[in-house]
Amino acid sequence: MRRFARVLPVIGMSGMGLAGLGVCLPAMAQSTEITVATVNNPDMVTMQSMMSAFHQAHPDIKVNWVTLPENELRQKVTTDIASGAGQYDVVTVSNYETPIWAQNDWLKPLDEDLPEDYDVDDLLAPVKEGLSVDGELYALPFYAESSVTYYRKDLFEKAGIEMPEKPTWDQMKEFASKIHSPSDGVYGICLRGLPGWGQNMALFGTMVNSFGGRWFDMDWTPQLDSPEWKNAANAYVELLNDYGPPGVTSNGFTESETLFANGQCGMWVDSTVAASYVSDPDTSKVAEDVGFAQAPYQTTEKGSNWLFTWALAVPQSSQHQDAAETFIEWATSKDYINAVADEKGWLSVPPGTRQSTYDSADYKQAAPFAPLVEKAISSASPTDPSAQEVPYTGVQFVTIPQFQAIGTRVGQLMAAMLSGQQSVDDALSQGQAFTERLMQQTGKPQ
């Protein structure tokens, strides 16, 4: 209020009375109001629609939502926390920024305050690890995903081939060649081609790992010009150019998902969250014929499937930390999962976070792909992502602040490579030069 008084004379000088314009101060409410910053993904939409359950249990906490596209949200939240503005009490973060922000002292450590019945040991180990620094949790997982291979059982049968439990990229190419039939509107394989560190680079990052490559050596020297990167890039380009859909550089997750659900892809390697969409007859034309396998590998299984977690955290700048913690404990609890299952069915529960979800007989019955998803998430290895030694953690990303810029740039080069604007060698040497320069400018991580 006092701060406000300082600007009032300025407005007064303009000779305009603002009273009549209805600009009024926020009403002093009895209850605590918290602001939750989040994205518009389907599981978050479900969370917003479950709010009456939260209000019943906690009538004294009022929740306001700020929903923004992912990149805008990340920028706004970063500005807010770094400047200490404290507009947000709960922020939606991933396992990419959680360790970085925790080390900046931006997020509140959560272990101490978690109640007994939260059952923190029920959280899947790689998911929990990705949100912890030195064994301390800084965010609670809301849902998590890994990558798997989706394929068309009917097309495989017709071609007389069989999908192994975990195929190699060489096999993927062979299978693609056998089922590729553009005249029937079926492309051998769909993969992400849309540039972005969270789009094509999520998939391509796992390819590099499985070809034995790594982003940096132990001295933080970029390795993009290594033979492993070249092999992975050649395999990626050949697969998509020979057996991919047209215009693949504009296909991200959603576009590929739609193509697969429309029956236009023979195989598709992507996020586990698509499993329920492609096997639901209401949304997918191929629901009956979807087969699942683990994500492909080549020379090593290490880092061949990614791990991405959407989690809820409380910024240190929040003025309502207790209420905020109450909220994130509720939204990531077993009770929440059960409440969603009761109200909307088991296919709508946020996947990938709790062992108890995967132990539930009801869930297994509703989601036949559940064991596969659980296996993919549990086998993801963020702390050991490459056959070679690495100084970083993260499967499809590197948990350093510079990675967002690096991943974005290299993602653009990959797209240029796919569309034939650049050769594999040129694209990789440019990526190498860009990464070297950026690391020099910003200094190596400690």
Partner 1 sequence: MRTQSGNALLGILAWLVALAIFFPILWLLLTAFKTEQEAFSVDPTFWFMPTLESFKTALAQGSGYWHYAWNSALTAVASTIIGLALAVPAAYAMAFYPNKRTDFLLVWMVSTKFIPAVGVLIPIFLVYKTVGLLDHALGLTLLFTAMNLPIIVWMVYSYFRDIPKDIVEAADIDGASVLQTLFKVVLPLALPGLASTGLLALILAWNESFWSITMTDHRAATLAVYIASFKSAEGLFWAKMSAASVLAIAPIIVLGWFTQRQMVRGLTFGAVK
CA distance 339 to 346: 10
Length of the chain: 446
Q: Please pick, from the candidates 46, 234, 258, 356, the single residue that binds partner 1 as defined by CB under 8 A.
A: 258
Give me the least distance between CB of 61 and partner 1, in Å please: 15
* Contact call for residue 347 and partner 1 (CB under 8 A): no
Give me the least distance between CB of 43 and partner 1, in Å please: 8
Residue pair 404/232 in contact by the 8 Å Cβ criterion: no
Question: Which one, 52 or 441, has the nearer CB to partner 1?
Answer: 52
Q: Please pick, from the candidates 46, 53, 58, 76, the single residue that binds partner 1 as defined by CB under 8 A.
A: 76
DSSP for 88-112, written as a single string: -SEEEEETTHHHHHHHTT-B---GG
Q: How many residues bind partner 1 (CB under 8 A)?
A: 43
CA distance 22 to 168: 65
- Nearby residues of 344 by Cβ (< 8 Å), 6 or more positions away: 46
Tell me which residue has tokens 């929903």.
Answer: 67
Task: Tell me how far the alpha carbon of residue 225 is from its chain's centroid.
Answer: 27
* Contact call for residue 306 and partner 1 (CB under 8 A): no
* Contact call for residue 41 and partner 1 (CB under 8 A): yes
Q: Is the four-CA dihedral 36, 38, 42, 45 of positive or negative sign?
A: positive
Question: Which one, 78 or 177, has the nearer CB to partner 1?
Answer: 78
Give me the least distance between CB of 42 and partner 1, in Å please: 5
Q: Which of 126, 128, 132 is nearest to 107 (CA)?
A: 132
CA distance 278 to 258: 9
Give me the least distance between CB of 23 and partner 1, in Å please: 5
Question: Which one, 146 or 430, has the nearer CB to partner 1?
Answer: 146
Q: Please pick, from the candidates 9, 59, 69, 281, the single residue that binds partner 1 as defined by CB under 8 A.
A: 69
* Contact call for residue 231 and partner 1 (CB under 8 A): no
Q: Is the four-CA dihedral 136, 139, 141, 143 of positive or negative sign?
A: negative
CA distance 358 to 376: 12
Q: Please pick, from the candidates 4, 112, 389, 440, the single residue that binds partner 1 as defined by CB under 8 A.
A: 4
* Contact call for residue 40 and partner 1 (CB under 8 A): yes
Give me the least distance between CB of 93 and partner 1, in Å please: 14
Q: Which two tokens stand for residue 260?
A: 């697969």
Q: What residues pair up with 132 in beta bridges, in sequence order?
A: 137
Tell me which residue has tokens 């590729």.
Answer: 180
CA distance 245 to 124: 36
Tell me which residue has tokens 């999908």.
Answer: 163
Q: Please pick, from the candidates 175, 253, 297, 306, the single residue that binds partner 1 as defined by CB under 8 A.
A: 253
Question: Which one, 31 or 83, has the nearer CB to partner 1?
Answer: 83
Q: Please pick, from the candidates 9, 19, 26, 446, the single residue that binds partner 1 as defined by CB under 8 A.
A: 26
CA distance 154 to 156: 5
| From 20-28, 95-103, 368-376, 422-430, span contacting partner 1 (CB under 8 A) | 20-28
* Contact call for residue 377 and partner 1 (CB under 8 A): no
* Contact call for residue 399 and partner 1 (CB under 8 A): no
Tell me which residue has tokens 């990705």.
Answer: 130
* Contact call for residue 72 and partner 1 (CB under 8 A): yes
Residues 171-210 that bind partner 1 (CB under 8 A): 198
Question: Which one, 76 or 375, has the nearer CB to partner 1?
Answer: 76
Residue pair 122/258 in contact by the 8 Å Cβ criterion: no
CB atoms within 10 A of CB 420: 9
* Contact call for residue 221 and partner 1 (CB under 8 A): no
Give me the least distance between CB of 214 and partner 1, in Å please: 26
* Contact call for residue 28 and partner 1 (CB under 8 A): no
* Contact call for residue 84 and partner 1 (CB under 8 A): yes
State the pairing for strand pair 136-137/132-133: antiparallel
Give me the least distance between CB of 111 and partner 1, in Å please: 28
Give me the least distance between CB of 7 and partner 1, in Å please: 5
Question: Which backbone phi and psi does 13 adopt, to 5 degrees?
Answer: -65, -30
Per-residue binding letters, 85-124, with partner 1 (x by CB under 8 A): x-xx------------------------------------
* Interaction site with partner 1 (CB under 8 A): 3-4, 6-7, 11, 14-16, 18, 21-23, 26, 35, 37, 39-42, 48-49, 51, 64-70, 72, 76, 79, 83-85, 87-88, 198, 252-254, 258, 273
